[in-house]
């Protein structure tokens, strides 16, 4: 399944699912976070964590573990909170993560994930009815 189709399916499921005890906003946030984690895995970019470079699939696994850990402890939040708390820096050392994609300059992971979130939300905005 392509990245865009998977992202779309995750968001569609979250939007159509009945509101859980935490509310529909929580479902949408979880879908966005899962889509972001999938995007790093599908990106073919390298991910620097604590001075060591990792392949995209390793970055995806690492961020999924961080997200699962936070959820088990009742820590919730929206996609922006996930980026700020988990996807942009090491929880142990505080060092910022970096992302390097082919043909692009290395950048802070937080910036990369925020750009991905903007793109994800743009791709999934409801169509405006014609007047």
**For residues 7-22, average pLDDT:** 41
pLDDT-based confidence at 129, cuts 50/70/90? Answer: low
Residue with tokens 């994930």: 113
Average per-residue pLDDT for the chain: 84
Q: What's the Cα-to-Cα distance from 64 to each of 3, 12, 33, 36, 126, rounded to whole Å?
A: 17, 21, 9, 10, 28
* Residues above pLDDT 70, as percent of the chain: 76
Residue with tokens 């970096």: 98
Domain residue limits, the chain: 3-123
**For residues 29-53, average pLDDT:** 97
CB-CB contact of 120 with 32 (8 Å): yes
Q: Which range among 21-25, 35-39, 44-48, 56-60 shows the weakest confidence by mean pLDDT? A: 21-25
Whether 1 has a pLDDT exceeding 60, the answer reads no
Whether 12 has a pLDDT exceeding 80, the answer reads no
């Amino acid at each position: 399944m392509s990245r865009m189709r998977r992202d779309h399916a995750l968001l569609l499921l979250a939007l159509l699912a009945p509101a859980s005890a935490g509310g529909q906003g929580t479902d949408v946030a979880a879908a966005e976070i899962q889509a972001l984690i999938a995007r790093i895995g599908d990106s073919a970019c390298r991910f620097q964590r604590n001075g060591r470079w990792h392949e995209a699939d390793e970055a995806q696994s690492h961020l999924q573990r961080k997200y699962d850990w936070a959820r088990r402890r009742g820590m919730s939040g929206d996609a922006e909170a996930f980026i700020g708390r988990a996807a942009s820096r090491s929880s142990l050392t505080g060092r910022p993560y970096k992302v390097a994609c082919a043909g692009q300059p290395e950048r802070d992971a937080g910036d990369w994930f925020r750009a991905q979130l903007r793109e994800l939300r743009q791709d999934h905005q409801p169509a405006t009815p014609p007047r």
